[in-house]
Amino acid sequence: MKLIVLGSGTSVPHAKRSSSAYWVESSGRTLLMDCSTSAITRILAEGLDWITLDSIWISHFHLDHCGGLAPFLAGAKHSSEMKKRTKPLRIFGAEGLRKLLDGFNEVNNYKLFEQPFPLEIVEIESLEKFEIAPGLEAVAMSTPHTDESHAIHLRDAEGATLVYTADTGFTETLSAFARHVDLLVIDASFPKSKPSEKHLEFSEAMYVIRKAEPNRAVVTHLYPEWDGVDFERELENFSVPCEVIQALDGLALNIRNSEERKAKNV
């Protein structure tokens, strides 16, 4: 499994951080986790193939996570390359996803659902397993951000695991959901003094990381309040069980099953 951070930022415009979008590759399949308005541009900037994308996961319906869906589908509809596509594109999210897309579609009668390939809209249930792409299993868990917001747990055919919290307030259940995963991608919106209980500040993210004990962790969804903060110095204030990385646009990480890796090193 491989993760590429397309957007490590928020809804606030930033010169170096695009809004939320994350690319996952596993066994020749691809998944886009969240689709901000900058997602398609960032996909192309990283040299990735949007034409063969298998699935899109929408964590919740704030525009910095889903606002790129309409431009993506409008672009797909009119792309000469997409006319050759035959495999389905599947878009996953919580209840209300279809209503959201209907709203985007009705703004200017874009006919977004009339694609040259099969388009599937899948509304998931919390804590029920589903296949998000061939060979890639998922479970989603409701989080305290919006009514529909969910974290997602991925497991590929080789046993590699990833949890993406997306935007979330603090909850003890995150630690259990992400227990011993190979990579935890976690909201750490503010270095301190968060203005809202709907996000995590750094100390709360570090608490979840300590409890979850992932193999590695990436803190992301970083507001401009992080600008000028010495991340490594902040990290020194905490006892951590693993490598903790500050997300940057373009960050790429290979994710291997940690148990398999340990066995090979014995």
Query: What is the reported pTM?
Result: 0.96
CB-CB neighbours of 46 under 10 Å: 14
Q: What is the pLDDT of residue 109?
A: 86
pLDDT 10s digits, 35-53: 999 999 999 999 999 999 9
Alpha-carbon span 197 to 194, nearest angstrom: 7
Structure token digits, residue 125: 């249930």
CATH (domain of 228): 3.60.15.10
pLDDT 10s digits, 213-253: 999 999 999 999 999 999 999 999 999 899 999 999 999 99
Q: Could you tell me where the DSSP H helices lie in the chain?
A: 39-45, 63-66, 69-78, 97-106, 173-177, 202-212, 231-235, 258-265
Segment 78-89 shows an average pLDDT of: 94
pLDDT 10s digits, 151-201: 999 999 999 999 999 999 999 999 999 999 999 999 999 999 999 999 999
Residue 260's pLDDT band, with cuts at 50, 70 and 90, is: low
Q: What is the pLDDT of residue 107?
A: 87
Q: What is the pLDDT of residue 41?
A: 97
**pLDDT of 264 over the 80 cut:** no
Q: What is the pLDDT of residue 224?
A: 98
Reference 38, options 20, 22, 25; nearest CA is 20
Residue 257's pLDDT band, with cuts at 50, 70 and 90, is: confident
CB-CB neighbours of 225 under 10 Å: 17
Q: What is the pLDDT of residue 262?
A: 52
Alpha-carbon span 181 to 176, nearest angstrom: 10
Structure token digits, residue 75: 């672009």
CB-CB neighbours of 97 under 10 Å: 20
Residue 149's pLDDT band, with cuts at 50, 70 and 90, is: very high
Residue 265's pLDDT band, with cuts at 50, 70 and 90, is: very low
**For residue 239, what are the domain limits?**
2-265
- Average pLDDT value over all residues in the chain: 96
Domain count for the chain: 1
